[in-house]
Amino acid sequence: MRFPRTPSRIAVTGSGGLIGSALVRSLRADGHEVVRLVRHPARTGDEVEWDPRRGHVDVAGLTGCDAVVHLAGAGVGDRRWSEAYKREIRDSRVLGTAALARALASLDTPPEVLVCGTAIGYYGDTGTRAVDETAPAGAGFLPSVCVDWEAAAAPARAAGIRVAYARTGLVVARRGGAWGRLFPLFRAGLGGRLGSGRQYWSYIALHDEVAALRHIVDTGSLAGPVNLTAPDPVTNREVTAAMARVLRRPALLHVPAPALRLALGDFAEDVLGSQRVLPSRLLESGFRFAFPTIDTAIAAAA
């Protein structure tokens, strides 16, 4: 099925988030019927109730769906990483994915595809080494979460549903996500490099993120891991220079690594870590980025 050409019924979790809300707008603008999985009793015809922690999904509400895009999960950078919040990060992803996969597998006519949004955190710190979907999982908290997160979709795969793991990088957007915090600082002239600035950031414009998710849904050959990152990862130092250049603001400040560790706790290691991730499978499948460079991605969001 070619979803952009034929109006379809598509379910989305995490529809209130940065990526989910943009995806819902894009799909509806093209005439698709979108049902949103929400964590309260359904109030409108486009809502389906689910409770990821209890493993409950209103299965009847998913009947007739051609595709499901699963984007729900506690924000990795929303709060300091206490042990309790690390459990929330893991449980919100693993339990939610397992509940959804079981619900889809139970349908008499399951959807053709489940796109499970995961993260390039799967690869851990790659330093200056470029990696693509063939690389193994890294070591540490986020890689272990990503491994369990993806494994939780097994019931959907066993039911014959095409399952793709959209491993997303840092989304460049004006509001929300990491860049939503950067833009106000740089506009105020308070931007600067983080730590050494030599760590690689694998980014993607919000427009390209949504287009890539839809491309995965539409491309029947895409299953398994698919990296959603721009084709040219850059260092934090280069991000800083690009932000200053595009926004026409000075970016002379420097946040040293010890200060980040004090402010962010364990999460600081992921901010300071380096991930040089390439979107090999996306490019091989014919996807074309609208904003392939850091300057164009920032300009699109600004």
Distances (CA, A) of 104 to 54, 68, 163, 247: 16, 9, 11, 45
Say which residue, 268 or 117, is predicted with more confidence: 117
Q: Strand 276-277 vs strand 130-131: parallel, antiparallel, or unpaired?
A: parallel
pLDDT score of 262 = 67
pLDDT at 200 over 80: yes
What digits encode the pLDDT tens for the residues 93-103?
Answer: 999 999 999 99
In a domain, 232, yes or no: yes
pLDDT at 223 over 50: yes
Number of domains in the chain: 1
pLDDT score of 3 = 46
Specify whether the CB–CB gap between 206 and 172 falls below 8 A.
yes
Distance from the first to the final alpha carbon of the chain: 35
pLDDT at 32 over 60: yes
In a domain, 21, yes or no: yes
Question: What CATH number corresponds to the domain at position 14?
Answer: 3.40.50.720
In a domain, 1, yes or no: no
CA angle 134–157–71, rounded 5-degree value: 75
- Residue 273's nearest CA partner among 135, 143, 148 is 143
In a domain, 186, yes or no: yes
In a domain, 2, yes or no: no
In a domain, 3, yes or no: no
Distance CA 81, CA 60 (A): 37
What digits encode the pLDDT tens for the residues 132-185?
Answer: 999 999 999 999 999 999 999 999 999 999 999 999 999 999 988 888 888 998
pLDDT at 77 over 90: no
- Owning domain of residue 77: 9-301
pLDDT score of 106 = 97
As given in the structure block, the two tokens for residue 102 are 């079981």
Query: Percent of the chain at pLDDT above 90?
Result: 80
- Rounded to two decimals, the pTM is 0.94
In a domain, 287, yes or no: yes
Which residues, at least 6 apart from 78, have a Cβ–Cβ distance to it below 8 Å? none
In a domain, 4, yes or no: no
Distance CA 124, CA 199 (A): 12
Residue where the block lists tokens 């390209």: 208
Query: Percent of the chain at pLDDT above 70?
Result: 95
Distance CA 111, CA 118 (A): 19
